[in-house]
Structure formats: structure tokens, C-alpha cells
Structure 1
Amino acid sequence: MTTPRLLLGLCLCLAAAAVVADDHAPAPYPWPGGARAAVSLAYDDALPTHLDTAIPALDRHGLHGSFYLVMSADTVRTRLADWRAAARRGHELGNHTLFHACSAQGADRSWVSPAQDLDTMTVAHVQAEVLLANTMLHAIDGSTEFTFTVPCGDRNAGDGDYVSGLAPHMLGIKLGAGAVVPDMRTLDRHAVPVAVPQGSTGAELIALVEAAGRQGTMVNFTFHGIGGDHLAVSREAHEALLAFLAAHRDRYWTATFREQMRWVRDVERAAAP
């Protein structure tokens, strides 16, 4: 039979053990305003639905996204004023190369043209194109710090890895699969994992945000079409995600990827010996 004294002793032992455990647990990652996690809303390929659907929806909810422009895209040529206006309202215009070169290898890559086959290009050539895209972004909106999403997640040109050499020129690089960052303190800002939703429901997108909140890290969405174009999610799913984030601003820091990587960089510098 457990006596009150013994029960009290057990409770004190458990409390002491919890204190010891807490002493060894890492401190929560210091997101702005005490937020639980960060959320990056990114949109690749400079698609018409970004200007016509995504940006108006973000503006209605007071949220900012990162739009990765392929500089040869029709919307960059024909709707440059709209992209500049989006940048003035706080959205990021990011680097997605000049021509979106990808490897032609694989059953799903028949759309890659010979002129944009990464397998036939040199590292020097691809890096020169990416840096020229930075110059063009500066000309569009005056940016001096840049982030990059690697087209198709393909980092190897014909003669080697072209992405690693871009690190000095980028605050952050989105590369690789995986929605929720497992540990912010070991995150490589130049190899940030992303989720690429296609046909996802609003509930599925929100579940990823909540998973990031439980881990205290971040989730990186890379959308393509919104209610149209390719690799699309529905307007309804996108709207449900934005409404959730707008309603929980205190929990989830939704900002441009550039702002978030600037914050992560500064935390890294403060923690350096």
C-alpha cells in the first residue's frame, strides 16, 4: 500500500527528474515574437495564377510570399509592372534562374528541351546564368540580398555540382525534399528542404504547419499553380492555409524566405564562439 509520505516522495523525485531533464533540453529556437515556428510561402516559375490569384489572396490576409521568377517567363516580359508592385507591397522576388534548366534524365522529364538540359551544361555556365538573374532582380526591385530555389531540385550540371558555389551569393537556397525542418540549429541555409504540394487539401497543408509548431522549426511550401497552371493546388486549399496562418500570427511567423534566412543567419552569428 502506498502511503501519503511515500507518494509525496515519489512526486518530489519525479519533479526533480523533470528539472534535470529540462536543464539538458535545448532552448526553443528564438523565432520573432516568441512564435512557435516559421512558415515560408513560396511560388515557383512566375506563373499567371501567382499574379492573378496567389498575390491578391496573400494581400487580403496581410501575408507575404516569395515568388521565384524564371527570368525568361512570359509574365516577366509582359507583366513586369505587376511584379514590381508586388515587391513594393512586401513580397519577395527570388531567383529561379534565367531558363529553368533541369536534367532531362527520367521518365517524367520529356518536357526538358535540349537547350535547357542541365546535363549538357557546365558548372560555370549555369552559375553565370544564376548570377545574371540576381542582377536582373536588382534591376526590377532594387534587391541586394537574394534567395534561390533550385529548378527541379537538380544540383548537378554536366561537369559537377553548380549549387554549392552559389552559397556566397545567396542568403538561402531551397533544395531537396522534406517539408518540416527537423532541427533549426543544424539547418544548412543553402540546402533548405521544401514541400511541393500538388492537389493537397487545406487540412493537409495546415497539418504540416502544426507539425512544424510541435517541433519548433519551420515549414517551407513551394507552390506552383494556384487553381490553375501546372502542379496546382486548389484555390480553396490555398485559401484555407492562408486563413489559418492569418488567424494564428502569434504562433506561426509567416514571412518572406529572405526575411527568415536573414533571421537564421543572425541567430547563427550570435551563437558563434
Structure 2
Amino acid sequence: MDTIELSDGTAIPQLGYGVCLVSDEEIQSAVESALEAGYRSIDTASIYRNEDGVGRALAATGLPREELYVTTKLWATDMGAARTVEAFHASREKLGLDYVDLYLIHWPAPATDAYLESWEVLEELREQGWVRSIGVSNFLPEHLDRVIGLGGSVPVVNQVELHPALRNRETEEANTARGIVTEAWSPLARGAVLADPVIGELAGRHGRSPAQIILRWHLQQGRVVIPKSVTPERIRANIDVFGFELSGEELARIDALDQGLRTGDHPATFNP
């Protein structure tokens, strides 16, 4: 598995397994299937309510801890100094881990303006060894600048919605300018772009599935990507994307599919 070096000197697998909307009943078998297929990075969050199941799967595999990369996230209603510490340790204990590889603030929730206080707590958790790397999710450039303006750490990752129908160029360019790696959630637009004729043509040309074409597009543009599936066959197919390459012209054709189509909420207005 290829990795991407983060600004704090650690490295993250470029292709991981996302578990958003996977029920706690399905989660253990799904994560075990992903680990058996070769994934070593698992992305969850407290709001997904499946950290217990992820922890059971991690324990059942018997893989060495140093081979695993586990991300979880702080939910918006848990922001603020005291609640951030409590929420982090609740997540860590559910996962059954001594430390978390990457901890993210899930949404800026700008109406509360509590993400700055939580960011300083994340820095303390990292200094104490509870978490290796810290970052954010769904942050717009103005949110990033306020965090950086605190004068401490720069987030190593900004996980945002990004797929062919939502290129999210402004945020990705802002990430790159600040040394932040872009991680794409909903990388397949929840299936909305799989039937696009351009994607279908490229899939036929390369003898690959539409999902594999889109994941390859992400990888070649330097993003971390976390596709989700609970079907073992698709889990295996989503990691089988390293045996071919898209041309520059093909990448540009996929780039041109941008419609500004969001499958989730807008970071400027989402305030749970």
C-alpha cells in the first residue's frame, strides 16, 4: 500500500477503508473483510456509533498494532475543552487502543465557534502520546486559517467531500498551500457518478469497474481516499486499483465532470 507523508513526519496509507453508515451489527465482519483484503487504514468517527465494532474487528485480526492506522473524529456537540478530552478517551476505549493514529475535528460547526478551543486540546492529546497526528474534517479555507492563526500546529489532514461531481478545488488548493493533505470522503459520490458515460468509457478502455476508475483518479492526484462498502467483493475490488494508470487526458476528462454536487452538508452552514 502506498503511503503519503504528513507534515508531522508520520505517514498515512493512501487508500483506507471508511465505515460511515455501517451499522454496529455489520461493522465487525466488514472491517475483518477489509483487513483480509489488505487494507490497513480504518476511518471511523464517534457519530458513526460503530467504534466498538471496529475495535472488536481490530482485536480479532491479531495484526500487530504498528501495521494498523486508525482514524476517528470528534463530533461537533463534543467540542470545548472538557468535553473534547472526555470524547476522545471514550472513542479510544471503544476502539480498544492505547493510542489513535489520527484524530480529526469532524466539522467546524461555525455557529458554536468551539473548534479553536478543541484544537488546542487535540494538540495536548498529541503531546501526551494519546494520538500520533491531528487534523480536521470539512474545514473551509477560512476555518483552516483561524486554526493556524492560533500559532500552534497546522492540521496534517483535511478530510472533505470530494469526487468527480464535486471537485472542491478551492479547499484542495488551500490545503496544498498550507502543507495539508486532502483526504476525500464520499469519493464515489455515494454512487451518483458511477453511471456517468465518461466514467463508463474509461472503465471499458481499461477493463476496470467505474468505481476503480474513480479511485484511481483520486490516487493519481495525490489524495488520501476512504471508500466504503460492506460487500466483500466490492471491498476487494476497491483496493485493486494499483495495476493500471490513467493518462493526463483521462484525468482531465474526469476533472471536467464537476457539477458542484454535494451529497452531504455544507461546512459553512452545518451546525448540529
Could you tell me the TM-score, scaled by structure 1's length? 0.45
Q: Which has the higher helix share?
A: 1
Could you tell me the TM-score, scaled by structure 2's length? 0.45
- Structure showing greater radius of gyration is 1
